[in-house]
Amino acid sequence: MASGSSSLIWFRKGLRIHDNPALEYASKGSNFLYPVFVIDPHYMEPDPKAFSLGSTRAGINRIRFLLESLVDLDLSLKKLGSRLLVFKGEPSQVLIRCLKEWDVKKLCFEYDTDPYYQALDIKVKDYASSAGIEVFSPVSHTLFNPQDIIQKNGGKPPLSYQSFVKVAGQPSWASSPISTTISSLPCVGEIGSCEISKVPTVEELGYEDIEQYEWTPFRGGESEALKRLRESINNKEWVANFEKPKGDPSAFVKPATTVLSPYLKFGCLSSRYFYQCLQDVYKNVRKHTSPPVSLVGQLLWRDFFYTVAFGTPNFDQMRGNRICKQIPWNDDNELLAAWREARTGYPWIDAIMVQLRKWGWMHHLARHCVACFLTRGDLFVHWEKGRDVFERLLIDSDWAINNGNWLWLSCSSFFYQYNRIYSPLSFGKKYDPNGNYIRHFLPVLKDMPKEYIYEPWTAPLSVQTKAKCIIGRDYPKPVISHDSASKECKRKLAEAYALNQKLNGQLSEEDLGNLK
């Protein structure tokens, strides 16, 4: 046990030094500071919802990104006279053991709205309060506190972006610069019998045959996040003119957006610092774009989904979710598997799914296309199944944003124009007529002439032979016909919407939410 006052900073997200109020508070007035990260086996366990045996809840690319972020955090802490103490185990049990062993007087961690962390935090806070430990848990993962917005909106989350922006206004902290530097930290006290380790490698965490993986080109960590941020904001003109959904979803050598999402997900980058840097750019240019299309607008989308997710029971499912349309999606596992494994026979869709598996990141519109294709556009498979695949494989996988966007794309909530479907044949072609993106992610089609690259099954056999890609043998035939499947989807959606409207008139919100 260390003598003198000890505090503990529990890192979960917020893997950074800059703009980290929990870390700053933990370091104030303490003789010893214990910076702790607990590797939670929950994410490394086989996912019961996954198809292939042994698939873990978090894909290997995301785990590696996390480990890189921890190595970077450890290095930064060392520069400040501290270091990261890494544990493995059920986080609340590990934490409680550490609090006891080190006689901690102050426990600090960033507030987290994800249901998984909410449940964990209750256990830890209960122990802390029974042991007389001060707890400081500030909101610093988002621009706004979702609770404040819900309160300002009369107890319910705003359900449209426009109403969210109106209620939210300017973030309260934005009038003064946020803190971005810490000059030193209290040293780590005695460790006692607690078993700490270094940041492990993916192999040490039990992932096998790692040679078979293609790794994401994006490296984890705060240093990389700040470097990427600087690269983006140094290009003032680009920031000032940023307009989404304009931008090329097929650009992969230099993506059309910032690719800061994985850094924001793990909190290697503070969204508040990002926001502040964007405001600084805006002050120095003649004119700039505005929400919802601007870069600040993108950060507001993030906060919008966080707020709705926090204020909506059962946000991550159709059943019992009062803002989700009840739609009789099918359970076709073969179609789902074809989509997940990039075997739909539609090169634009399959290339995006390969990028997901290999990189763990795709452009927003590419995500739109595959989510629409799986659900209301073509295959009519339940959005929750697609959500699960994204949740596992994205390096930026984020509970609130992922669920929110799947609700949106499947026309289950927020967006209801189910007649507007992304064509798997023509959408990608507008940006990339030569099919370079497809050729890169689906090398089996690399020699297919551009006339056929989006519909290779229409190529004469002689062309397929010359391109060394026989459809049905080297690359699959389409699993459905887009024309007829999309018509059928629209018909089913129209029926489901009519039924939802009828039931809305007859049933209470609770009854409706309980409908399957």
Interface contacts to ligand FAD, rule CB under 6 A:
244, 257-261, 264-265, 298-299, 301-302, 305, 363-364, 367-368, 371, 390, 394, 396-398, 401-402, 405-406, 409
Which residue lies nearer to ligand FAD by CB, 32 or 437?
A: 437
Shortest Cβ 401–ligand FAD spacing (Å): 4
Shortest Cβ 456–ligand FAD spacing (Å): 26
Tokens of 79: 């520069």
End-to-end C-alpha distance for the chain, whole angstroms:
54
Which residue lies nearer to ligand FAD by CB, 145 or 258?
A: 258
Tokens of 116: 């998984």
- Alpha-carbon span 429 to 468, nearest angstrom: 22
Which residue lies nearer to ligand FAD by CB, 40 or 391?
A: 391
Which residue lies nearer to ligand FAD by CB, 406 or 475?
A: 406
Tokens of 362: 């795709």
**Cβ distance 164 to 304 under 8 Å?**
yes
Which residue lies nearer to ligand FAD by CB, 171 or 456?
A: 171
Which residue lies nearer to ligand FAD by CB, 83 or 382?
A: 382
How many CB atoms are located within 10 Å of the residue 213 CB? Answer: 15
Which residue lies nearer to ligand FAD by CB, 6 or 61?
A: 61
Shortest Cβ 212–ligand FAD spacing (Å): 25
How many CB atoms are located within 10 Å of the residue 492 CB? Answer: 17
Shortest Cβ 85–ligand FAD spacing (Å): 28
Shortest Cβ 163–ligand FAD spacing (Å): 16
- Alpha-carbon span 366 to 437, nearest angstrom: 11
Residue carrying the six token digits 């930026």: 396
Which three-class secondary structure state does DSSP give residue 105? strand
**Cβ distance 291 to 297 under 8 Å?**
yes
C-alpha 360 chain-centroid distance: 10
> CB-based contacts of 466: which residues, under 8 Å, 6+ apart?
447
Shortest Cβ 425–ligand FAD spacing (Å): 20
Which residue lies nearer to ligand FAD by CB, 82 or 232?
A: 232
- Alpha-carbon span 223 to 229, nearest angstrom: 10
Which residue lies nearer to ligand FAD by CB, 259 or 442?
A: 259
For every residue of 235-303, DSSP letters joined together read -HHHHHH--SS-S-TT--SS-SS---HHHHHTTSS-HHHHHHHHHHHHHTSS----TTTSHHHHHHHHH
* Side-chain-side CA neighbours of residue 450 (13 Å): 9
Shortest Cβ 267–ligand FAD spacing (Å): 11
* Side-chain-side CA neighbours of residue 472 (13 Å): 6
Shortest Cβ 141–ligand FAD spacing (Å): 11
Shortest Cβ 331–ligand FAD spacing (Å): 20
- Alpha-carbon span 306 to 255, nearest angstrom: 25
Which residue lies nearer to ligand FAD by CB, 9 or 318?
A: 318
Shortest Cβ 223–ligand FAD spacing (Å): 17
> CB-based contacts of 480: which residues, under 8 Å, 6+ apart?
335, 378, 379
